[in-house]
Amino acid sequence: MAISRAGFRSVSWAGQFLASSRASWRCAPCRTTTRPATTIRPRRFATAAADSTSKKPYYVTTPIFYVNAAPHVGHLYTMVLADVIKRWRTLIGDNDAQLLTGTDEHGMKIQQAALAAEMDTQAFCDQNYKTFEALANAANMDYNYFIRTTEPAHKEAVQYFWEMLSHRGYIYTAKHEGWYSVSDETFYPQTQVQKSLDPETGHTKMVSIETGKEVEWSSETNYHFRLSAFQERLLDLYKTGFITPSIYGTNVFNSVSEGLSDLSISRPTERLSWGIPVPGDNTQTVYVWLDALVNYLTKAGYPFAPGQGSSLGWPADVHVVGKDIVRFHSVYWPAFLMALDLPVPRNVLVHGHWTINREKMSKSTGNVVNPFFAINRFGVDSMRFFLIYQGALVGDADYDNAYIIRDYQKLLQKGLGNLAHRAIGCAKGNLRSYIENGTSGRLPAATLADEEYEAMLKEVPNKVAELMDNLNPRAALQEITSLVDQTNKYFHHAEPWKNPIDRQRSLYNVAESLRIASILLQPVMPTKANELLDMLQVDKTDPAKRKFAAARYGSDLDYGANAKKSVLFPPLIVES
């Protein structure tokens, strides 16, 4: 159909960035083998054998992102944070680790955005999800599946999930009145809204206290979930450290302790038609957050055949979420799962927001950073490094190009890159002789400075592993950058270039520091870390040489021959 100029303007971001009948319920493997191959995309999780004794894959997820507007750097941060965790698990030997990302394509926001764009809603989703998929690829995410909530398999999973909740008596109908936020896709009680003056119009409006988004009064009859029945079980769950960092867990615990109201989980079709129909009632549409949360189960093969859930990855080990959606993932989601006696996720990892000039980055306000432009300007590994190094789990982090340039020049270019260049140059490319002497006990006796440095170096991998096990990639990365900084100081004071024979122990230690740091940096900067390992001639034909187990002092006897200097981090072209 013809699209107006206004319609093109409404969805131009996608082009710029990229130049139901009721189901018959069957288990996931049966669905994937009996349906025509053209109706369901390949499902990577539904391939494990139904052997309950098989090892559960480590399973990490990002939230699924709304396709109503363009992604910003906050989405990139969430993607990278989850990817670092998944890559770390692979580094330590979990070769079957799984990472899920994708897009949320139902709900009132999508319905309204498609209407404004003068597009068919499915066509709108088909066009705009590609930008988020492109961002996942541009970010070098090692994801295993990109889910879309408009997929047939997801619709079946949601409707089956609903029917099981209903069968167990956790769903009932009632009239619901309250303040509804289209932007947040949720109802707020009177205590969570307030009046706010709109500076553009001068009119007073009601907004959510938590998010600042406008709310409207709504009165309707719909389906409710007996959320209140799970208060005590949820409180017990929070005591296990279910939410990381703990400050978010304390906040959720205190909120739930005050009491839970039952949750409205459907919307009248006359208000919201773009979504999954409630099974057996086409006058109601499934609440978008119930729909969206089930995506984590969908791609773990739900509904599970007997004994199959664990072998396909469930329960999720880590849900990575922004602090604005903690309630959905730590209250609603575990309660839904408890209702069906399904295992709850093992951890919800919460992170803060990115701000510009201390104001929250938001698609709706236009206060955003184009992540594609940032990646193109600074490079994907440099952006991954900056986001993990400066991104906040507790609190928020402020974004500025000047900060990226500062960290790039100080920590990467003059730090890691310069250290590698100087060490290889000092050895005249022949690090191998120092490695051989170091691993055969032929080095000069250690000075006190050598002993202190070697003790520190031996501890770094353990510290990094402990921080990563505690889901703190930022602190782990800071530990690695601290190692590089201390190595530069050690190298400077040892001055091996003055007498390489007498001071070859320091050259060996620096070489080991570069090798160990490169191995540990692979989850954050996979390309640059492997470039450095290549420079050091760490054997790439033997994957074990680049795994975490090899990040031990003196563990590699064979690297360093014909090491070649290279500019690992070239100067940035700084725009005036």
DSSP class per residue in 407-458 = HIIIIIIIIIIHHHHHHHHHTTT-HHHHHHHHHTT-SPPPPHHHHHHHHHHH
H helices present in 282-430, as ranges: 288-293, 295-298, 326-327, 333-339, 371-378, 380-390, 401-407, 418-426
Q: So what's the pLDDT on residue 246?
A: 96
The pair of three-digit structure tokens given for residue 157, joined into one six-digit string: 């999973």
Q: So what's the pLDDT on residue 201?
A: 67
Distance (Å, rounded) from C-alpha 195 to C-alpha 201? Answer: 14
Angle formed by the axes of helices 526-535 and 418-426, to 10°?
A: 10
Distance (Å, rounded) from C-alpha 443 to C-alpha 300? Answer: 53
φ and ψ of 171, to 5 deg: -120, 135
Distance (Å, rounded) from C-alpha 398 to C-alpha 466? Answer: 27
Distance (Å, rounded) from C-alpha 380 to C-alpha 173? Answer: 50
CATH code for the part of the protein at 400-550: 1.10.730.10
H helices present in 73-151, as ranges: 73-91, 108-116, 121-138
Q: So what's the pLDDT on residue 320?
A: 98
- Which residue carries 């119009």 as its tokens? 201
Distance (Å, rounded) from C-alpha 84 to C-alpha 79? Answer: 9
Distance (Å, rounded) from C-alpha 409 to C-alpha 364? Answer: 33
The pTM of this model reads 0.86
β-bridge pairing 216-225 and 263-264: antiparallel
Q: How many CB atoms lie within 10 A of CB 211?
A: 17
In this structure, which amino acid lies at residue 452?
Answer: E
In this structure, which amino acid lies at residue 194?
Answer: Q
Burial class, 361, CB count within 10 angstroms (exposed 0-12 / middle 13-18 / buried 19+): buried
> Residue-wise pLDDT tens for the chain (576 aa)?
333 333 333 333 444 444 433 333 344 434 333 333 323 333 333 433 334 446 899 999 999 999 998 999 999 999 999 999 999 999 999 999 999 999 999 998 999 999 999 999 999 999 999 999 999 999 999 999 999 999 999 999 999 999 999 999 999 999 766 677 766 666 666 677 687 777 666 677 777 766 676 777 776 889 999 999 999 999 999 999 999 999 999 999 999 999 999 999 999 999 899 999 999 999 999 999 999 999 999 999 999 887 777 888 999 999 999 999 999 999 999 999 999 999 999 999 999 999 988 787 765 566 789 999 999 999 999 999 999 999 999 999 999 999 999 999 999 999 999 999 999 999 887 899 899 988 888 899 999 999 999 999 999 999 999 999 999 999 999 999 999 999 999 999 999 988 878 889 999 999 999 999 999 999 999 999 999 999 999 999 999 999 999 999 999 999 999 898 899 999 987 664
DSSP 117: T
Cis status of the peptide bond prior to 57, with omega within 30 of 0? no
